Structure 1
């Protein structure tokens, strides 16, 4: 019925139509409808992106098929993705998993992909990314789309450092611009930091924090939906950093600045783990003097007095250690499959002392950890020491997702179900409809043939050549049944895998 309705709508309107049975063959009508609705909303955006890439390819005279990574780490032709864009959810972390496998040569590992804003963690088992059986989550809604089982935390080199009333450090989850980066771009930042250090109202949380327009943006952005106060403040922000302390003092506008930041109209600069790494000599690509001054301001806020150089170094080391602790905890949570929350044993291991009372304790993943992303070299050597696990840093790991996109395979999985209705009939449910059988063996044989053909057709349509098909059969029988006559349900899963057709 869905196919017939689609044909009528396409004939009448010429518009793309999402058919839920093409997105999933599982028997859950509400979630299938939700998945179809979300997919339909994405078609316009993804089609615009694909058209732009095609124009760029034509401009550069690049003649080859355009492939896009899906959320399970496999590839598909752009034309196919344009009809089913929801299948690209979590494609970034999935590509990193595939790229990390190619770079490391390992078939089973935990991936930790640390960037500036977040850390994504996933598992590769026997050469394939672990896929969430519950389906990918989009905007808080659980869909029926196959995607990798990924854990994402707000931890990266650009995570915002918070200092609590008791001096306790918190790293993330929000991102800000590292002071060291601002200092390398804007030499006048050193004078702004020095002015904050000389300020008589020492210890303000606004010291060492700056506001500016997002990189590449220009003043005069659309302000129709802003409040008068937001428009007034935004008019004062430029491409160069300004002291948030002075702006808030003269304008009384700290909340307004944060509101503009949430809307993406301004960005905040401040102390981050990257700045601490510069202070400790673990990172050198930006301005170490700016990072040092920012660390002094943070340490002064924590201790309520201007710190000695030794205390500033210790403060930076505390930030570094907390970033390591959070990274180790995320790996343990991924390895165990669930967060440990306040587990004292895990806390001791991740903190680095490995002691619980008079006992030495450890928790070690049984498979290696592959660390990729720009900041991992600063933190993950210590993460490996605390967890006692093999830590792999593949060459070119900072571009693992790009390598994953270039080295991935085209794959498609099709599931066909056979269900006994208790009366001696067995109903086959497939993407092309339903059929009834009186013989369960015939139903299963027909289901396997349908699954094999459907998977092969689908993977060829996605741009594969010479696919191989693997079929897995899972049966559930009535209690005490010894033959297929007692079949309750059979699930036949066919997976077709092939290399992308490069057109050569």
Structure 2
């Protein structure tokens, strides 16, 4: 009998499930994520399912982890301070693909070096300048990213730079050629920067997860879900954490298919921070050929074709004034719900809310609180940021008491982006407490916070709403509306019909929106979705029936929808892909681009055979290292030719080898 343990660590909740023989869920649990020490919530969730099922720890034959932490970090702009080593490029190349924006002021150096498209060195690597840069920044960053021009055609300079980073700084280093075999240096550099930014967070998660499982007596191997829904070993995830972006959402798609058996459906997973929408076609999620997009960033990581929106149960609620009429919008930033921070620090939060309600004049920071996240490294903070972090200390504070001037709002924003500080405020979770949909945290705090929010004045000078219930309903209605937009955008992007406009424009088009309201004037307009929606997430049962009504479609809410990510974490397969290229730098010469450097052959068949052999070996080795058994190999060849003088001439070939198999399980 195989007992499989799945764990999903999200921004708000940590879930665990036990599945017997890949057929039935025998226990599930959901606990609050403890960001200051992830082991606490992982341990609590695992202990809960073991106790619930009566299964002994030593009976667990496989453990697997999925997480939304990397996705959330990128959406919220969080992560460690990093440095970029940019070889063979120009300064202006930093502006391509949002690379400079992703650096967020972190240090970088543009060095001489790099290769051409054929893998031939165009300039010597400037090691002296690199060494000086590394000596300057070895103490004030958490990791380094290295990207060289045409590094996938010849990685020699990336390899050498990475060696120097390790020797001089001892910090983790992300080399772009190890993350993608594709061209486009700035985009690879962006992927390497994000990977380096996530390493510290991912290392802490995996280390603490492994430690708590060992403490509980679980000796089964630990797997981690990749962004394409496949599994890899914990060691592989530590080296390439960027591949875990969209890990949790990808696991939810795998879990949705396992729970429902659906062939064609939209899958919408609402978490605390994001809503993730993907399409099941013929029972399989599609892989995004352009690379995973999370928030503002388009990476080169293979992942499920998914639209991730900063919209969740813990999304920040913004007050808006449109003309004379007030309203709200949600996201993309996540806040701690007031009901949650009051649940954890009632002695601070409740008296402050009561005092703010007694004031005749609404305050700028009403119902806002702040606290530091303990245990996160604070490298290279500016003096103002460090002072603010020290002032916050280990307590919970009303935001207005902590900020001494408007100048410090920028410092607070930077601390939040670094994951060093959390801000609490009004969220849809608070609205759900007031409406009686959920009661997990402090309902009284939610009610007071909503009353404070409702006192804000519209352009006409009137209050948004006097009744906390009315404020709560406004917020939930907006969540329904924005979820509908996310579903429509995903649906239009998957529809085979080309409407000549972007999915975003189509979803928001006045005719589409009127059709959702079933407009029936002289013209009748009726729009919606023509496929079912599978609603997943802890709050799906609370919010998604109204979404189904709005979209005019079947809304499927599986029994275990709240722990779909944890289910998907253990029912997936190990799948490893390796890609490589053969080029023809001159007639009758065929160059194989390998990690070890270019190799030339006189015949295309020989070159292709050499590349396929190398890729097969590497993919199989990766799959075996991930713990796969009964490995199957699949090879895809994309050979480009051109017609010249009435004959076909070889131009370039790309080979992709996929090695896959189910994870081997330990003896239970």
Distance of 1:35 and 1:391 partners within structure 2 = 36
Report matched runs for 1:153-168 at 5 Å.
153-165=309-321, 166=324, 167-168=326-327
1:386 is displaced (CA, Å) by 1.5
> Structure 1: which 5+ residue stretches go unaligned?
none
* Shift in alpha-carbon separation, 1:37–1:343, aligned structure 2, 3 A: closer
Which residue of the other structure, out of 502, 513, 532, is the alignment partner of 1:347? Answer: 513
- Measured against aligned partners, the alpha-carbon deviations of 1:413-441 in whole angstroms (never above 9, x if no partner) come to 23344556684655555556545354x66
Distance of 1:109 and 1:128 partners within structure 2 = 10
1:141 is displaced (CA, Å) by 6.5
Distance of 1:108 and 1:411 partners within structure 2 = 23
The equivalent residue for 2:572 is: 408
* Shift in alpha-carbon separation, 1:323–1:461, aligned structure 2, 3 A: same
Distance of 2:296 and 2:468 partners within structure 1 = 41
- Measured against aligned partners, the alpha-carbon deviations of 1:142-185 in whole angstroms (never above 9, x if no partner) come to 55332333332222222222223441222222333333334545
* Shift in alpha-carbon separation, 1:23–1:106, aligned structure 2, 3 A: same
Report matched runs for 1:93-492 at 5 Å.
93-136=249-292, 143-165=299-321, 166=324, 167-185=326-344, 186=346, 189=349, 192-201=352-361, 203-207=362-366, 209-214=367-372, 225-226=383-384, 230=388, 234=392, 238-239=395-396, 242=398, 247=401, 253=405, 256=408, 259-260=411-412, 262-264=414-416, 267-302=422-457, 312-337=468-493, 338-341=502-505, 342-349=508-515, 352-355=516-519, 358-419=522-583, 423=587, 427-429=591-593, 433-438=598-603, 451-478=615-642, 485-492=648-655
Distance of 2:465 and 2:294 partners within structure 1 = 49
1:411 is displaced (CA, Å) by 0.5
* Shift in alpha-carbon separation, 1:60–1:117, aligned structure 2, 3 A: same
The equivalent residue for 1:59 is: 215
- Structure 2 SS opposite 1:172: strand
Distance of 1:130 and 1:399 partners within structure 2 = 22
- Are 2:480 and 2:547, in contact at CA under 8 Å, matched by a contact in 1? yes
- CA RMSD of superposed structures (Å): 4.3
- Structure 1 SS opposite 2:657: strand
Distance of 1:17 and 1:292 partners within structure 2 = 48
- Measured against aligned partners, the alpha-carbon deviations of 1:446-476 in whole angstroms (never above 9, x if no partner) come to 6656554543333223321111223334444
* Shift in alpha-carbon separation, 1:479–1:76, aligned structure 2, 3 A: same
1:324 is displaced (CA, Å) by 0.5
* Shift in alpha-carbon separation, 1:171–1:495, aligned structure 2, 3 A: same
Count of residue pairs the alignment pairs up: 487
Q: Once structures 1 and 2 are overlaid, which stretch shifts more, 12-21 or 401-410? A: 12-21
1:323 is displaced (CA, Å) by 0.9
* Shift in alpha-carbon separation, 1:184–1:39, aligned structure 2, 3 A: closer
Distance of 1:27 and 1:257 partners within structure 2 = 40
Distance of 1:274 and 1:106 partners within structure 2 = 29
Q: Could you say which structure has the larger radius of gyration? A: 1
1:495 is displaced (CA, Å) by 1.8
Q: Could you tell me the TM-score, scaled by structure 2's length?
A: 0.61
Distance of 2:553 and 2:645 partners within structure 1 = 46
> Structure 2: which 5+ residue stretches go unaligned?
1-153, 494-501
Distance of 1:292 and 1:307 partners within structure 2 = 15
- Structure 1 SS opposite 2:311: coil
